[in-house]
């Protein structure tokens, strides 16, 4: 593990495979190459920790600040990438997510879920989320209890779980394994600012690397993989314009389009006929992994309702309203300034907190000192101290009331877009501009799914969901696009007019350029993206390994510019020196 700032200015490096970005995708891929005989260079912009000047390279513009967070939020530019702050929720995509759905324009992947299954197993291991099992019975064994006693529905399944990673910080967790691999060189503080194509524009000839200390390096490799996340990948492709004026892979103006996050929010008040039969907290799987139950809209119901994918969990009442009279929720409200932006944002609804409101929250805390103290002890014991952390705050409402916390698929929309904006960063790269948009399909998904759930709870006689259907759209957009999930901007498909990469994640028309990121997902599912990002990255590693090593060396056509030939350093020499 080296630092680009320590290398001589102008140094040229070479490798068989150059991976740009050491987040979940880049690190998972690199680990797959360990001991493979291929020389791998993993270029990472950041260092081991959060550094302000490096993080500032992520700054950019957004079309509507109420709809999308600033671009340097909800992603981390450092070794480990955004897994240094992620929540660790692991969920695979469902069968239906891969299918072309007649009611959802632009849906359909080039392959089905079966293609990813072997890689999901390993992805689960890398996330330290235990066995690849997502049914309650198989995961929880005899400890499995019904989520809502007496709830039997063909529209919603209550049998699925989500699993939780430690949450694993991929940088910290796998640094030693990367160091131990003699064929892998991790270069920190190495910012790729452009890819250079050959004159025909069909191969990447090299990458330009710059450091914030003013050094410039060059990299040549048989294959390049962009693992820079769903937004930054767009920036690199669009900013590399030496041969194609519109950027790489962008001959049909598709790069940056179809930008999706997830539609998420909380809505309504849920009460149950027999509260003692309801379980909304965490379970622990037979191997000791935290798991949580969820209500999932079935594939048949999605078809019937012409809706996207949708899940919901039982949640605590809205924090900002002191009417919940729960000391702990009020404590969270008052402690906002101490909670990281990414986690505080959805705890608070942006509504003004006047002095009276603050006093009411203080009153709640003072009225409930034992409850609050008990929670703080629990948090210290199960969240702060252990490596495997209790995933989130779970509060049992005293009045047995819940709200519904939903997470829904966003429909692909070519008008939802990431482009190059105005201004440049400290390395001279154009900044990004994000214009995230949702569609009527997204509103329909949440409206119909929530209405169906309310009807099913009533029909089974187990509970009641009270909500105002007129507020669905405002609730699902209250906090804007769901942060940290950057999907679809270099989507996968067979036709370059509507996609950027092929089914091998190779950029159309560029022989040796691949993408490992949620940017290649054609659709977003209800699931959080990281498990699928990793599964796809592992599949790509297997694909590259299968390619004939000799052919790769031949393609490398090593001759760098003659005047600099003596300064080219192969990755193995860097590692061994």
Residue placing its CB nearer to ligand FAD in the complex, 24 or 295: 24
Q: Is 82 in the site for ligand FAD (CB under 6 A)?
A: yes
State the number of CA atoms in the 13 A half-sphere of 92 facing the CB: 26
Query: Quick one: which of 13, 16, 62, 78 contacts ligand FAD (CB under 6 A)?
Result: 78
Q: How far apart are CA 138 and CA 143, in angstroms?
A: 10
Query: Quick one: which of 529, 535, 541, 575 contacts ligand FAD (CB under 6 A)?
Result: 529
Q: Which two tokens stand for residue 532?
A: 């699928």
> Partners of 162 in the beta sheet?
292
Cis geometry, peptide bond prior to residue 550 (ω within 30 degrees of 0): no
Shortest reach from residue 229's CB to ligand FAD, in Å: 3
Query: Quick one: which of 204, 533, 540, 541 contacts ligand FAD (CB under 6 A)?
Result: 533
Q: How far apart are CA 573 and CA 575, in angstroms?
A: 5
Q: Is 438 in the site for ligand FAD (CB under 6 A)?
A: no
Q: Is 89 in the site for ligand FAD (CB under 6 A)?
A: yes
> 3-state DSSP call for residue 161?
strand
Q: Is 24 in the site for ligand FAD (CB under 6 A)?
A: yes
Shortest reach from residue 150's CB to ligand FAD, in Å: 30
538 contact partners, CB below 8 Å, separation of at least 6 = 28, 29, 32, 119, 122, 123
Please state, in angstroms and as integers, the Cα–Cα distance from residue 249 to each residue in 147, 154, 262, 395, following that order.
47, 43, 26, 48
Segment contacting ligand FAD by CB under 6 A, of 345-353, 382-390, 396-404, 523-531: 523-531
Q: Is 23 in the site for ligand FAD (CB under 6 A)?
A: yes
Residue placing its CB nearer to ligand FAD in the complex, 164 or 272: 164
Q: H/E element holding 197?
A: strand 191-197
Site size for ligand FAD (CB under 6 A): 40
Q: How far apart are CA 336 and CA 348, in angstroms?
A: 8
Alpha carbon 368 to its chain centroid, in Å, reads 37
Nearest CA-CA partner of 44 in 14, 18, 68: 18
Q: How far apart are CA 111 and CA 101, in angstroms?
A: 14
Segment contacting ligand FAD by CB under 6 A, of 15-23, 179-187, 251-259, 440-448: 15-23
Q: How far apart are CA 438 and CA 424, in angstroms?
A: 28
Q: Which of residues 225-264 bind ligand FAD (CB under 6 A)?
A: 227-229, 232, 236
Buried b (16+ CB within 10 A) or exposed e, 342-351: beebbbbbee
Q: Is 539 in the site for ligand FAD (CB under 6 A)?
A: no
Segment contacting ligand FAD by CB under 6 A, of 59-67, 75-83, 348-356, 411-419: 75-83
Query: Quick one: which of 416, 517, 525, 571 contacts ligand FAD (CB under 6 A)?
Result: 517
Q: Is 425 in the site for ligand FAD (CB under 6 A)?
A: no
Q: Is 87 in the site for ligand FAD (CB under 6 A)?
A: yes
Shortest reach from residue 389's CB to ligand FAD, in Å: 12
Residues that bind ligand FAD (CB under 6 A): 20-26, 43-46, 74-75, 77-78, 81-83, 85-89, 191-192, 227-229, 232, 236, 342, 483-485, 517-518, 528-530, 533
């Amino acid at each position: 593990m080296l630092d680009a700032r320590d290398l001589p200015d102008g140094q040229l490096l070479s490798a068989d495979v150059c991976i740009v970005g050491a987040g979940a995708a880049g690190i998972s891929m690199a680990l797959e190459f360990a001991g493979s005989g291929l020389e791998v260079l993993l270029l990472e912009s950041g260092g081991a920790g959060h550094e302000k000047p490096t993080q500032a390279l992520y700054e950019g513009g957004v079309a509507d600040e109420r709809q999308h967070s600033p671009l340097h939020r909800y992603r981390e530019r450092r070794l480990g990438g955004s897994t240094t702050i992620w929540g660790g929720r692991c969920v695979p995509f469902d069968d239906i997510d891969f299918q072309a759905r007649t009611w959802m324009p632009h849906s359909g992947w080039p392959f089905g879920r079966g293609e990813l299954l072997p890689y999901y197993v390993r992805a689960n291991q890398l996330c330290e989320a235990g066995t690849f099992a997502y049914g309650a019975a198989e995961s929880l064994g005899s400890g499995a209890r019904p989520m809502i006693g007496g709830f039997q529905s063909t529209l919603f399944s209550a049998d699925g779980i989500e699993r939780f990673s430690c949450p694993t910080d991929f940088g910290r967790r796998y640094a030693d394994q990367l160091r131990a691999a003699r064929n892998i060189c991790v270069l920190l503080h190495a910012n790729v600012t452009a890819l250079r194509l050959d004159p025909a524009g069909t191969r990447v000839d090299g990458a330009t690397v710059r450091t914030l200390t003013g050094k410039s390096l060059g990299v040549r490799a048989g294959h390049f993989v962009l693992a820079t996340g769903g937004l930054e990948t767009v920036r690199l492709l669009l900013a590399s314009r030496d041969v194609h004026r519109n950027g790489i892979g962008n001959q049909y103006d598709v790069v940056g389009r179809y930008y999706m996050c997830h539609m998420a929010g909380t809505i309504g008040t849920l009460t149950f006929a027999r509260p003692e039969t309801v379980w909304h907290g965490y379970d622990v799987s037979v191997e000791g992994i935290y798991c949580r139950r969820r209500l999932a809209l079935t594939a048949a119901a999605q078809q019937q309702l012409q809706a996207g994918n949708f899940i919901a969990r039982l949640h605590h009442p809205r924090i900002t309203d002191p009417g919940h009279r729960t000391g702990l929720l009020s404590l969270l409200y008052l402690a906002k300034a101490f909670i990281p932006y990414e986690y505080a944002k959805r705890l608070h609804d942006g509504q003004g907190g006047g002095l009276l409101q603050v006093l009411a929250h203080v009153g709640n805390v003072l009225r409930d000192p034992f409850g609050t103290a008990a929670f703080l002890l629990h948090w210290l014991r199960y969240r702060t101290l252990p490596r495997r952390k209790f995933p989130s705050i779970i509060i049992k409402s005293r009045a047995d009331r819940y709200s519904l916390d939903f997470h829904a698929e966003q429909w692909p929309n070519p008008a939802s877009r990431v482009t190059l904006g105005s201004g440049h960063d400290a390395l001279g790269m154009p900044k990004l501009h994000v214009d995230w948009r949702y569609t009527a399909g997204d509103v329909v998904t949440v409206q119909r799914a929530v209405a169906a759930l309310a009807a099913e709870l009533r029909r089974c006689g187990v509970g009641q969901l009270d909500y105002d259907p007129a507020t669905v759209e405002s609730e699902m957009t209250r906090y804007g696009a769901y942060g940290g999930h950057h999907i679809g901007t270099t989507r996968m498909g067979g036709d370059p007019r509507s996609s950027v990469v092929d089914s091998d994640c190779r950029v159309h028309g560029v022989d040796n350029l691949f993408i490992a990121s949620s940017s290649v997902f054609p659709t977003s599912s209800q699931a959080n993206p990281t498990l699928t990002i990793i599964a796809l990255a592992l599949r790509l590693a297997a694909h590259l390994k299968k390619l004939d090593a000799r052919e790769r060396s031949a393609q490398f056509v090593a001759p760098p510019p003659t005047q600099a030939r003596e300064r080219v350093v192969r990755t193995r020499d860097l590692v061994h020196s």
